Chain A
């Protein structure tokens, strides 16, 4: 794209946003800053969940629509462990492990048997999501499961400039999301397995031809992707509570993040998650009945002008 056109895009989109920000700051600066933080922290949660989704999709071309069910599974398992042991860290580990194991099982038992049939794999994930969601409903019932944050994050942070008080747990999501993002980047760019995954995203056939055990790489990737969903589930169990129906909500958030940010790109997932989180919270704060319209509009604009997402790469 010519440089001048790129500048035009930045101005067209950035201009109204900056104007809005100035207006909001002038009228109610506390609301604006709190909403900004809310959006970024929500985006962090979305990023953690969506990064797993985009990792699996980027490498294996598998649209894992059971991703939300893995989120729910991780959250419930984490809740049970937290209740029994009264510790937060084992709960997180248990949630990640449970989701990763199920993901691994899915890859090895089912998806490996239908290599290359992308649409069929996706339909299998749809069926699995319905089955897993109902099994979880059967086991855990329809009651609300609200997990507690670790004790050192339970109290709100008071005395912040301009904002007053803010939930310290929620604030901690931001460095957590950034940390996960950095870890993922390091994993993909500085380890052997990461290198193989990146190569596989570019050219699956070549990866297999060069003698790499592709099945192993796929299994590891799926386990990591599922584990990230489970991790998101444990975090979400504290912030948003676990209830049947959360799986579809987080799945859709992941879908929108990946579509907007770019399919198969982790940095894209970060960008998409930030955009989605901010759009949702600002919409809810300033125009509650139209908040969904903003998300819709962003989705449609991206699909119309950049069908692969903002940072997407041709498949």
Chain B
């Protein structure tokens, strides 16, 4: 490519996106607003942020957020705790996998392992029902330390996996994940073997028992929102864009001077933090951690959740988690609970075969069809359809 063409490319859409100026069309179709003018106007950073916020926030975001905030007040404690909080915690872990897979092109089955490591460390550093193993440190030491060490483990797993092509990543991460499962199963001095560690609860702070349904739901909601916003932010940052470039064509990115392996390992580290936070929350939800939590079926369940929801947008894993948890709990009422695996496997298979973008993909196609119907009358809507259908 000649120098002039290169300069043109860098200064046009793709380049501007890399500079963080425009929004890439990933996920839902968006309205074709001209953001450059908005950005150019605001001088003071506060008003600029405010305008960016108003630009990005849509009615649907407000509606969903309001619903989530009000949810514990209108639903039973069972729904708040077992359905709501569990979906949020699982969704966070699945989000880490969706980030790596959807934006990094690396399907890592070891995200649940990282989450499990964080859970085990919280139990070992903090209090549990096995005082011979737990060190009994206060939560404000135990939890950050657990998350930090789990992130380091996640980075190590990433470093081991990224030096080969993408297709090997599934194999390698699955093997590492299962090796850790057997390690936790057979080791008694640190992991307490088959029994695992019981009575791992969040602390009692500010006179609130954080494991009772409502406070725990809000705790999970807080971290789920944080993870969601963080992933959305990173996706539009230069790092995130570079990562997507590496997903699409690592050789070209390498030629452009990006450190491919470094970016990938950094992505694993970022995903590791998210998975670790989700792991701590999930362990607190269960009140215990056992080797079964990091076994093969648990590892694959996270992949199922991420694929079910769709990996193109950070809301996907949470949608997938809700559907998964609902199925898990109510399958026995609809059909044989014993055949739950058959149903989940069948749904997963159907999604991969017919709608690889998961529920979001189905939704987008559904919405597009209606938008297409309306597009006959409105040129603006026609543009929206064209913009939206450019998603992959």
Residues of A within 8 A of B (CB): 61, 63, 65, 110, 118-120, 122-124, 126-131, 133-135, 137-138, 248, 252, 255-256, 258-259, 263, 288-293, 295-296, 299-300, 303-304, 307-308, 315
Contacts and interface: CB of A to CB of B under 8 A. Distances in A.
Interface residues of B, number: 40
A127 B183 contact: no
A73 B168 CA distance: 26
Contact of B182 (A119, A292, A307): A292
Interface of B: 107, 160-161, 163-168, 170-172, 174-176, 178-180, 182-183, 185-188, 296-297, 300, 303, 307, 339, 341-342, 344-346, 348-349, 352-353, 356
Contacts of B165: 315
Contacts of A129: 345
Given A130-B341, A131-B346, A304 B160 contact: yes
A61 B168 CA distance: 9
Contacts of B346: 127, 131
Contacts of B185: 292
B347 to A, nearest CB: 9
A259 B345 contact: no
Given A133-B345, A135-B342, 17 more contacts: A118-B166, A127-B345, A127-B349, A127-B352, A128-B349, A130-B300, A131-B342, A134-B345, A137-B341, A252-B296, A259-B168, A259-B175, A289-B186, A295-B179, A300-B176, A303-B172, A307-B160
A248 B296 contact: yes
Contacts of B356: 120
11 contacts: A118-B166, A119-B166, A122-B167, A123-B348, A127-B349, A128-B345, A130-B341, A130-B348, A255-B174, A259-B168, A289-B186
A289 B160 contact: no
Interface of B is mostly: helix
Nearest to A298: B179
Contact of A296 (B170, B179, B300, B345): B179
Contact of B303 (A61, A126, A288): A126
B345 A131 contact: yes
A63 B164 contact: no
Nearest to A113: B353
A131 B187 CA distance: 32
B110 to A, nearest CB: 12
Contacts of B171: 63, 255, 258-259
A198 B268 CA distance: 35
A256 B342 contact: no
A265 B296 CA distance: 26
A134 B348 contact: no
Nearest to B188: A289
B19 to A, nearest CB: 30
A292 B179 contact: yes
A137 B341 CA distance: 10
A123 B160 contact: no
Contact of B348 (A126, A258, A304): A126
Contacts of B170: 63, 65, 119, 122
A276 B288 CA distance: 32
Nearest to B343: A134
A134 B166 contact: no
Nearest to A293: B183
Contacts of B307: 123
Nearest to B178: A252
A256 B300 contact: no
Contacts of B186: 288-292
A315 B171 CA distance: 15
A33 to B, nearest CB: 25
A134 B183 contact: no
A124 B351 CA distance: 9
A301 B182 CA distance: 18
B341 A259 contact: no
B179 A133 contact: no
Contacts of B164: 307-308, 315
Nearest to A248: B296
A65 B346 CA distance: 16
Contacts of B352: 120, 123-124, 127
Given A258-B171, A263-B168, A131 B349 contact: yes
Contacts of A124: 349, 352-353
B200 to A, nearest CB: 23
B159 to A, nearest CB: 8
A298 to B, nearest CB: 10
A303 B160 contact: yes
B265 to A, nearest CB: 13
A300 B296 contact: no
A152 B303 CA distance: 47
Contacts of A293: 183, 187
B301 to A, nearest CB: 10
Chain A CB count within 10 A is highest, among B180, B297, B341, for B341
